Structure 1
Amino acid sequence: MSKRFKEPSLLLLAVIGCLLYFGVNLLSPYMEDAERMEEVTEGVPSVTKEQAAGAALGFAREHLGLTAAEPETIVIYQAVKERSGYLQKERLYDDYQKRFGEKLPLEFYEVEIGEPGTGLTHYIQVNYTNRRIIGWETGRSATARSEGVFSEPAPDAEAVIRKTMADQGYAPDTFALVSGGSDATGPNTLRIYRSKEDSIGSAPLELHVKETRGRITLFRPEFPVPDTFTAWKNAQDDRASLMTWISMGLSTVMTLTAFILVIRGRRDIRFGRGLILTLIFAGVYVLNNFNMLPAFRTEHGSGPSEPQAVFYLWFVNIFVLFMAVSTYLSLLAGRQLWLRRGLNPWPVWSDVSFGDSVRTAMVRGYLFCLFVLGLQQVMFFAAAELFDVWAVSDPADSVYNMRVPGIFPLMAWAASISEEAVYRLLGIALVLAVTRSRFLAVLLPSIVWAMSHTQYPIYPVYTRLIEVTVIGLIFGYVFLRYGFLTAIFAHAAMDSILMGLSLMITGSSVNTAIGAGYLLVPALAGWLLSWLHARFGPKLKPPRAPLELPPDPLPPAPQP
């Protein structure tokens, strides 16, 4: 490496990044807000999904009338996002964990049990540290409703409810009925009992209960958060949604511009360029969508979750198709724009120097990645300490809700290929052509890119916009200074490390080993491409020797 790589400044950046990363992690436990940010990340379940399913099935047979020998079951990870957000914003998280964390955890397993022949679906919440049943709900399909399943309330409904409260560890006399009393005793009437003693901040403990035909069809402990927090969070979500739509709109304009440029310059464009990168993006993304099918079931109604999850799966795959088209057009148009400026944005296989370029790009990418990871950790730390930023676990993105968690870090390549193509290769070239300013050419696409990341559950949402914009500026510099391949490797290495770490903290030894392996995947990819090109790629032909003419057989003509 020393012969080909002589850039001590990049090595220094990597060292600085490592010092920042580990320094912040060492300092965080001593800082209140940073520690709180660490605690609200996903916990480590000590109960397997199979054990949780067994506990839920036993409860359903004993209390919910389940008789099917082999009911359909699926176990997903769930989190109470609204309550978690309120506790963090009001700095009540530690108090809640001490008082209610063991009995009413913010994260748990939800076991869905489909009862064949009845149209009933049971959702049972199970504590993933001790298998305790937290709450449950029995939902009815249209068929079950039409056939009158659970059609009558029991005459001694109040006695059944009080017994269930006691069985679940709640003292009935400490709760008062506040909704759904004697004037509303129809089938499946929701009754709300509010605790006279327990609350957290301005959120009182409530038990939401439904009873029909002597069975409790819904039992759910709740802490309804104040309307002021709900309004604040909704406003934040609306801003994030608006920024996401703006980003999608501007990205669509860029794609349409790329399409026009490709049509106009079709005679000079080689359409094979970028095709393999596009196929990698699409293949990895579609594979990840099928892997995320359990996560798509987290947002469900009271009936079976599979139909709406499958519908959402195919909807997302159609959206991925449009993203793949956008990526392909961005690769074609972006490359052509830079070639017109006399610059080759990235080498291709047919170039003799491709192998060396890939290896160098991989090394540079890792060095920049280490610096960005350290800087990002500093930004997270500053956000928590200075701007009271907090985050909640999102079941829709959790590795616990994946069929095969080990393939999740492959998404690092889908993200790096697509985002670097759209916002760096194409975006910088387009803005540069309009503004003639390199700074604006890097800044504006970075802002558009950052807007698309504000939908993550990190509040206030503007902090995510700032953080990702800063990272975009660095990736933009990497692209302009070192080229497209280095930007891809820097992005892929960063995401591979972050996603690999998310596997390593799940508590599974298998996931830990797989996650650790993903830290080196970009390095292996760069080395493998370089080796394959050296073995099978075009070779530099040696210069031909000058042509030597044979001696003239005729004697020289006599001089006059």
Structure 2
Amino acid sequence: MNSVGQPLQQRALSRGLLLFGIIGLIVFIMFQVYPSLLASSAEDNTTVISKAEAREKAVTFATQKLGYTESANENWQVVYKTDSSFYGYMSREKLLDDYTKNKLDQRYPFDVYQAALYSSEAKDSSLSVDLNMYTGEIVAFARGTEVDSGQAAGRATTAVKASSDTSLTLEQKEKLAIPWLEEWGVNPAQLQIEPNAEDYGLVYTDKSVKVGEALLHYDFMFSEGDVSSLKAGFSAPSWHISYVEDQTSLATKLTLFGYGIPTLALGLLALIYSILRRGKTSFTRGIFLSSAHFVIMMVSTYNMLPETTGDSVEARITAVVMFIIYALYSLLMSSLLYFSLVGGNGLWRQEEGLNPWPRAKEPGYAKYVLDSIRVGYVWAFILLGVQTIMFIILSYTLNNWSTTDASQSPYNMRYAWLLPIVAWLAGLSEEAIYRLFGIRMLKKIVRSTLAASLITTLIWAFGHTLYPIYPVSSRPIELTVIGLLFSYIFLRYGFIAVMFSHVVFDSILMGATLIFMKESVNIGAGVFAIVMPFLVGYIVYLFNRSQKPPETEFG
């Protein structure tokens, strides 16, 4: 970091640091990118069908097999669903490779597209069809007055909310179910009826097919004298489900008490110290970045709003209310960013005599930004390598594992290619709150830069515990290491450099996610996301080369 009043000059990157950056990138590619590429090339069907194609196949199936007739006031909406419980169980027990090799993922996929039928008068769907995302093959359906289309993929995905028809005898249920089993290519003689399965109507078990402790089930429900739903697949053992529930409860508490409340406290302190340090800081400089943060956050929110509701008045009101809530939350977070920028800049300038966030009119600003871009990319490569090594260590020490999450999937975004904008939200807000303001504020209390860095890093790490990674303790351990490195980058190179390193780090991870989706638009967006931080920084460099008097800002 430069001293206040001194010409700006970014620290030079040593050969050793450049070497570590190259090594970090190689480690990341070898252990995270290459295995995914290898697995993708080994599979027959790795290209996801379009939602339009899934919708068309679902309508065709419903018309031919379920007696559906198209109507003008109805529409089909397609969403991505996942059985995160069963996938997590297989991930935990190292069963995923065998599941794929045996091609069970094609017949009984844990990831599906669910096409649900909505009418303009009803909030809930009256019909849903699940399809294999890669082949388009129908794998489940449900019909009735209230189809529970909000559940995750799995045995209960297409279950009708109403209880199964109790007026039917077991023999009548079998007579209705057998034609569907034959339609599915299953020999009913090889199946056994599961006793005490009244909640599902009728459950067949194929004991010849087993994944760990999970047996293959064919679940039927009945309504008005006919089959109302059919789903074939596996369920995670009850002990695994209980474990995840306990871990999720712990993650919720850590997020609330370890992240939420401390972050709000930092926000209040940022407001107070922005006022107290008003003579040593600027209240105008944070306006642009916090406004940009608010706009990006709203775009991201809109992009992630679910499209699963119908066109009824109730559904529209619900959507509007949710959007207002998200808008207020975005305003709160952008305000927290603003006061962290203002208060943090004032604290460092007045109490340390350091200049962590330079102004554009200061001598050497343009080159300083360009050099900060280089620092950001090199350190992002190092961080990717460190994270990869942490994953390997935690897999051997804590046996950590991860699972799927439909709520965070780009497949459920309106425009998947917009995913990388989240990287800019994290890079701006988190580095401003926990590094620019948080470290200096906590140092006033604990009298130690290291302790202050550790405390703010832990707060930041606890905010990521609701991600589907288990055990929950593995996530704070990993991010404490990453967060301390971010703190080091900030203290050594300043706010602009650490912001770039964070944005590049996340952009590479999110860009890779888009590239693996394989659609041309997503591949292009993924590549662009990785180079975008450089382009943004270079534009700022070009704009400020002449050191024009009017003050602009970046960082």
Q: CA–CA distance in 2 between the matches of 1:486 and 1:62?
A: 60
Q: Is the 8 A contact 2:126 2:145 kept in 1?
A: yes
1:167 alignment counterpart = 183
Q: What SS is found at the alignment partner of 2:354? A: coil
2:83 alignment counterpart = 80
Deviation digits for residues 304-340 of structure 1 (CA, Å, limit 9, x no counterpart): 9887666544433322221111111111111111121
The answer to whether structure 1 residue 430 and structure 2 residue 432 are counterparts is no
1:336 alignment counterpart = 346
1:415 alignment counterpart = 426
The answer to whether structure 1 residue 523 and structure 2 residue 526 are counterparts is no
2:259 alignment counterpart = 247
The answer to whether structure 1 residue 132 and structure 2 residue 128 are counterparts is no
Q: What SS is found at the alignment partner of 1:285? A: helix
Q: What SS is found at the alignment partner of 1:75? A: strand
State the 1:254 CA deviation.
0.9
State the 1:489 CA deviation.
1.0
Q: CA–CA distance in 2 between the matches of 1:334 and 1:28?
A: 36
1:324 aligned to which of 327, 334, 342: 334
Deviation digits for residues 342-372 of structure 1 (CA, Å, limit 9, x no counterpart): 2222112333433222222212111211111
Q: CA–CA distance in 2 between the matches of 1:525 and 1:204?
A: 53
**Unaligned segments of structure 2, at least 5 residues:** 1-7, 148-161
Q: CA–CA distance in 1 between the matches of 2:47 and 2:195?
A: 35
Q: CA–CA distance in 2 between the matches of 1:286 and 1:29?
A: 31
Q: TM-score with structure 2 length normalisation?
A: 0.84
State the 1:5 CA deviation.
6.8
User: What are the equivalent positions in structure 2 for 1:181-196 lying under 5 Å apart?
Assistant: 190-196=201-207
The answer to whether structure 1 residue 396 and structure 2 residue 407 are counterparts is yes
Q: Is the 8 A contact 1:154 1:212 kept in 2?
A: no
Distance 1:120 1:382, change over 3 A: closer
Distance 1:356 1:459, change over 3 A: same
2:515 alignment counterpart = 504
Look at both structures and tell me which one has the larger radius of gyration over its CA atoms. 1
State the 1:438 CA deviation.
1.2
The answer to whether structure 1 residue 89 and structure 2 residue 92 are counterparts is yes
State the 1:80 CA deviation.
1.0
Q: CA–CA distance in 1 between the matches of 2:263 and 2:34?
A: 42
Q: What SS is found at the alignment partner of 2:242? A: helix
Matched residue type, 1:363: R
Greater CA deviation, 506-515 or 216-225? Answer: 216-225
Q: TM-score with structure 1 length normalisation?
A: 0.84
User: What are the equivalent positions in structure 2 for 1:275-424 lying under 5 Å apart?
Assistant: 275-294=287-306, 297=308, 311-341=321-351, 342-424=353-435
Greater CA deviation, 153-162 or 71-80? Answer: 153-162
1:554 alignment counterpart = none
State the 1:35 CA deviation.
11
Q: Is the 8 A contact 2:193 2:202 kept in 1?
A: no
Q: Is the 8 A contact 1:179 1:193 kept in 2?
A: no
Deviation digits for residues 35-64 of structure 1 (CA, Å, limit 9, x no counterpart): 99999x9x9434222211111111111233
Distance 1:418 1:29, change over 3 A: closer
Q: What SS is found at the alignment partner of 1:68? A: coil
Q: CA–CA distance in 2 between the matches of 1:305 and 1:95?
A: 42
Distance 1:14 1:160, change over 3 A: farther
Q: CA–CA distance in 2 between the matches of 1:27 and 1:222?
A: 31
RMSD, aligned α-carbons: 3.3
Q: CA–CA distance in 2 between the matches of 1:533 and 1:35?
A: 41
- State the aligned residue count: 517
Deviation digits for residues 180-231 of structure 1 (CA, Å, limit 9, x no counterpart): 55xx9xxxx7433333433322222222222223442221224232222122
Q: CA–CA distance in 1 between the matches of 2:378 and 2:342?
A: 28
Q: CA–CA distance in 2 between the matches of 1:179 and 1:53?
A: 36
Q: What SS is found at the alignment partner of 2:395? A: helix
Q: Is the 8 A contact 2:359 2:365 kept in 1?
A: yes
Greater CA deviation, 106-115 or 245-254? Answer: 106-115
Q: Is the 8 A contact 1:178 1:194 kept in 2?
A: no
State the 1:479 CA deviation.
1.0
Matched residue type, 1:165: L
Q: CA–CA distance in 2 between the matches of 1:203 and 1:404?
A: 36
Q: What SS is found at the alignment partner of 1:520? A: helix
The answer to whether structure 1 residue 472 and structure 2 residue 483 are counterparts is yes
